Chain A
Amino acid sequence: MEAHALTLLELRQKIGAIDGRIPRETHGFRYLQQPIAKGSVVEFAGQGKTELCAHFLSEHPELSVAWVEDEFSLNPYALWQRHLNFENLVFVEAGRDMSWAIHQLLHSQAFDLIVSSGRQWEENELRRFQLLSEKAKSTFFLLSEKPQPAWVQSLQVQTRRDDGGLLQTRILRNRITG
């Protein structure tokens, strides 16, 4: 009986079910001093979320990125000023087909990173994206106005601007180990 219980414990540890931390391949993120797991769902929420995402992309010019917006309000000139690699960056203005577009992009496994901005997602929809991200090893960045109360995100970062306009970050949830 004791041996059986031990095996179960070992198994649980292996799948990260004990402490909720899943060891995976990661991308470093100097700005946040925090690695980001490949194939995970990461949420940046609040004022300065796009700036934080731009920081990550400028640190990783080698990643092929699809940036999906429902209505396009990004300023690509400003992204270029922040030294993003435009050769590896494709923009998609998906309108009401945003869920379908993200699904297609993740399913294709053709991009290392998908950025979704401009829409709040239901938890089951996020779960679907998480499964596809894991399978494709494509990291899924979610930029939202407020942190979404879902358990799907491996990393959840709250961003804000201080009185001087500087970007401040606070990690709300972290289930990533390097």
Chain B
Amino acid sequence: MKVLCLFFSREVPLAAIAEAFYGYSPQISLRRNEALYVEIEKCRHLYDDDFFLEKAREIAEIFKCATARVALAEDIPTALAFARHQIFKKEKLPIEALADYAFPFGIPESAARELEHLFFTLPRLGLFNLRDFQKLSSGSLTNRFGALGFHLHRALRDSSGLNWPLFRPSEILQEEQSLDDGWRVEDTESIQFVLRGILDRLLLRLRGRGQALRRFELYFELENHSLLREKSYRLHFDLLEPQMSLKTLLSVVRDRVQFELRQKPLGAPVTLVRLQALEMVPWIYAQKDLMNPHKEEKREQRIGVLSRLQIRLGKEAVFHAEPVENYLPESNWRRRDPFHFREIQARDRHPARPLRLLTEPRKIYFQEGFVTIGSRRLKVLSVEDHEILSGGLWNRLFERRYSILRAQDDGGANETYWVFLENQNLFLHGVFD
């Protein structure tokens, strides 16, 4: 067995940090408010010890616990004692390390007082480190130090068979940051700075869980102010494509926050920023395409920019077009999600149509070799039959006779229009631009 231990000298979000390691090993346990253990034996074929030590420090830094102490050992108590005392030889560990051997998942209140008394007595007897304690014969321990003394000695001899208390990731996935008075956050620049850290932590936890972000909420709590109507600010983000890239998410959030704050500025400085994941989807790790390493990067950039455009312009405004079979030219294509392309099923049964189409056919007038389109009067050069379209439901039957009309304006420029005749009226429907 190989155990990685992270020891923290102050209170930290242990469960959140543990989630970040979930991707490496599911065998994780916590020591109340103090330490976190990860069993890494099974993945040592993939990563070496240095990788884990480096990773642990990196993760601790992202969670603003740069002072975390890290150690690797063959069992939980030794890893904890190494990390706590930063002494990496078992025999040289101070006598207080016995407590880590006896109670690796936290000292029960009933034993705390007795331990304190023991650690006061042992140095007076000339026992300063674990080697000194190990030299004592086990037979005399109960008489001299009671049941606790025997328990400590046994734990020190063999601590490999410990049961790992089960660690469960929290149901709600959220990260927040309180902002003290010294840090005034009220514009997008400073909000973005705070968001970067929060997003980084949230993504690390998601990666550990093997999930990607689909929907999330950004919440700002504002400084209490008597004139302030709303003391909080919420923004919902619904991503069409699940995201795991910090760069992409940050740009999506930044643009939206910028846009929203322009419409409705914050009335007071922000005191708390919270980001809560509302919907996650399984994330599939895929091997990068070695032949085309930029493909993945380009895809992410593409998703990022399209998401930003959708947030600002609306979902309908950014799209793939899908041709569909329909008699009406205005209905023979539809807007599709720009992130997922679907094979086109339609078959082309029509002559080449104009590249520009009017949203509504526009009535035009033909008289004595001239056509009038709005305020423009053009000389007709030729009119050519193009196609006849008919169909519709029984109450909406239609028949349109389409023609290609070529005309010339006063300046001599030729225009090619797509017009149709319906109920003796002439309509302009498209332009061969």
Query: In the complex the two chains form, is A108's CB within 8 Å of B304's CB?
Result: yes
Give the complex CA separation of A124 and B338 in angstroms.
31
A108 touches B302 (CB 8 A): yes
A53-91 with Cβ < 8 A to chain B: 54, 64, 73-82, 86-87, 89-91
Answer whether residue A116 sits at the interface, using C-beta atoms and an 8 A cutoff: no
How many A-B residue pairs have C-beta atoms within 8 angstroms? Tell me. Answer: 135
- Chain A contacts of B316 at CB under 8 A? 93
Q: Is the CB of A97 within 8 A of B312?
A: yes
Whether B313 and A161, one on each chain, are in contact in the complex, defined by CB atoms closer than 8 angstroms, is: no
In the complex, the answer to whether A100 meets B312 with C-beta atoms within 8 Å is: yes
A78 touches B353 (CB 8 A): yes
A73 engages B357 (CB within 8 Å): yes
B430–A75 CB distance below 8 A: yes
Asked if B410 is an interface residue, CB under 8 A from chain A, the answer is no
The answer to whether B167 has its CB under 8 Å from any CB of chain A is: no
Asked if B302 contacts A111 (CB within 8 A), the reply is yes
Tally of contact residues, B, Cβ under 8 A:
47
- State whether A75 touches B319 (Cβ < 8 A): no
Check A91–B355 contact: CB distance below 8 A: no
Min Cβ gap B108→A in Å is: 57
Tell me which residues across on chain B come within 8 A of A93, comparing CB atoms.
313, 316-318
Contact bitstring B113-142, A, C-beta under 8 A = 1, else 0: 000000000000000000000000000000
Contact A80 B313 (CB under 8 A): no
CB distance from A141 to the nearest CB of B (A): 14
> Closest residue of chain A to B319, judged by CB?
A91
- Residue numbers in B under 8 Å from A78 (CB-CB): 352-355, 357
Report the stretch among B16-24, B205-213, B262-270, B320-328 that lies at the interface: B320-328
Known contacts A86-B320, A86-B322, A91-B319; A110/B301 CB under 8 A: yes
Q: Which of A74, A109, A165 contacts B356 (CB 8 A)?
A: A74
Q: Is the CB of B416 within 8 A of A104?
A: no
Tell whether A105 is near chain B: CB-to-CB under 8 Å. yes
Shortest B24–chain A CB gap in Å is: 32
A131 at the interface (CB under 8 A from B): no
Q: Of residues B308, B309, B353, which shows the largest number of chain A Cβ atoms within 10 Å of its Cβ?
A: B309
B43 within 8 A of A: no
**A38 CB-CB contact with B under 8 Å:** no
Specify which chain A residues have a CB less than 8 angstroms from the CB of B414 in the assembled complex: 47, 160-163, 165
Q: CA–CA, A32 to B433, complex, Å?
A: 17
Is B432 located at the chain interface by the 8 A CB criterion? Answer: yes
A48 contacts partner chain B, Cβ-Cβ < 8 Å: yes
Q: Which of A54, A78, A165 counts the most chain B CB atoms within 10 A?
A: A78
Which positions 295-335 of chain B face chain A at CB distance < 8 Å?
298, 301-302, 304-306, 308-309, 312-313, 316-323, 329, 332-333, 335
Asked if A50 lies at the interface with its beta carbon under 8 angstroms from chain B, I say yes
Counting CB contacts under 8 A, is B171 at the interface? no
CB pair A73–B356 under 8 Å, yes or no, is yes
Q: 1/0 contact trace for A140-162 toward B, CB 8 Å? A: 00000000000000000000111
Q: Is the CB of B305 within 8 A of A51?
A: no
Alpha-carbon gap, A162 to B430, bound state (A): 18
Contacts of B329 in A (CB 8 A): 75, 77
| Alpha-carbon distance A81/B406, docked complex (angstroms) | 21
Report Cα–Cα, A53/B156, bound state, in Å: 79
A110-B305, A165-B432 known; A50-B319 Cβ under 8 A: no
- Contact A51 to B433, CB < 8 A, known contacts A90-B338, A162-B414: yes
Distance in Å: Cβ of B109 to nearest Cβ of chain A: 58
Contact B321 A86, beta carbon cutoff 8 Å: yes
With a 10 A CB-CB cut-off, give which of A87, A91, A109, A110 has the most chain B CB atoms: A110
Would you mind naming 6 contact pairs between A and B with Cβ atoms under 8 Å apart?
A: A74-B356, A75-B353, A78-B357, A91-B335, A92-B313, A109-B301
List 5 additional A-B contacts (Cβ < 8 Å) besides A110-B301, A165-B404: A81-B352, A86-B321, A87-B341, A108-B302, A110-B298
Chain B residues packing against A (C-beta within 8 Å):
298, 301-302, 304-306, 308-309, 312-313, 316-323, 329, 332-333, 335, 338, 341, 344, 348, 350, 352-359, 381-382, 404, 406, 408, 413-416, 430, 432-433
Q: Which 7 A-B pairs have the closest CB atoms?
A: A76-B321, A108-B305, A110-B301, A110-B302, A75-B357, A50-B433, A78-B353
